[in-house]
Amino acid sequence: MTAFNEKFQRLTALDDRHIGRYLISQDPIEGKIRGAFKDELILKSNACGLDQAKRIARDYPGLSLYNLLDALAVTLQYHTSHSTRDYIMMGYFEAPNVIVLFEKNISKVEALLQGLSLDIDVKAIILAHELFHYLETTTELYTDSVTVRLFKIGPIERRSLMIAPGEIAGMAFAKALLNLDFNPAILNYAFMYSINETEAEKIYQSMMRAL
């Protein structure tokens, strides 16, 4: 087994709470929140993603992911140009209803994962995750309400929206919708590995450490 395979396998064992800790540690305003609130955020964000996956399964029974996108009128676009954005992502959601996929980056990750015994459809995972971001724009969800107080001077208070809750919920949503037995956030490690092994090692270490 290669070092990559071994490490990826190890990451598949991390539970959603652990991965939630990692995702929060990546949020730019992580330093502004306390441990107990982090736990609450992780719990509620995971529950929010799971709830939405259940709602979708109930409202659109038996639809494949692609038929589901059609039913929700979400359009797929493939990113083809060679801008610097190619470098750093596999997909993103663009309001009101477009999911953009970076196929070349996705194929690199799929090639990397081929040596594993796991059957991982990277494209479906990215689609499902981005679909959650679409749902965030059409439904009032917990993840869109989490703000953190940055500072308060007398009557002036500045609050900022956190990124992590939507990311945690998007991962939980994709996991439930696609019936995965690992948290798909670990694909960030594989994706970075396909670009830069040293940077990937840093992601691996912080994922393992995030407790």
- Under the rule (CB under 5 A), what is the footprint of Zn ion? 167, 170
Least distance from C-beta 64 to Zn ion, angstroms? 22
Least distance from C-beta 20 to Zn ion, angstroms? 14
Task: Tell me whether residue 4 or residue 122 sits nearer to Zn ion (CB atom).
Answer: 122
Rounded to whole angstroms, the Cα distance separating 158 from 81 reads 38
Task: Tell me whether residue 4 or residue 106 sits nearer to Zn ion (CB atom).
Answer: 106
Q: Counting every residue, how long is the chain?
A: 211
Least distance from C-beta 172 to Zn ion, angstroms? 12
Task: Tell me whether residue 16 or residue 167 sits nearer to Zn ion (CB atom).
Answer: 167
Q: Cβ-closest residue to Zn ion?
A: 170
Task: Tell me whether residue 163 or residue 210 sits nearer to Zn ion (CB atom).
Answer: 163
Least distance from C-beta 167 to Zn ion, angstroms? 5
Task: Tell me whether residue 4 or residue 127 sits nearer to Zn ion (CB atom).
Answer: 127
From residue 91, how far is each of 35, 130, 192 by CA, in Å? 31, 7, 14
State which amino acid sits at residue 177: L
Nearest Cα neighbor of 86 from 106, 56, 112 is 106
Q: At what angle do helices 122-138 and 103-113 cross, to 10 degrees?
A: 130
Least distance from C-beta 164 to Zn ion, angstroms? 10
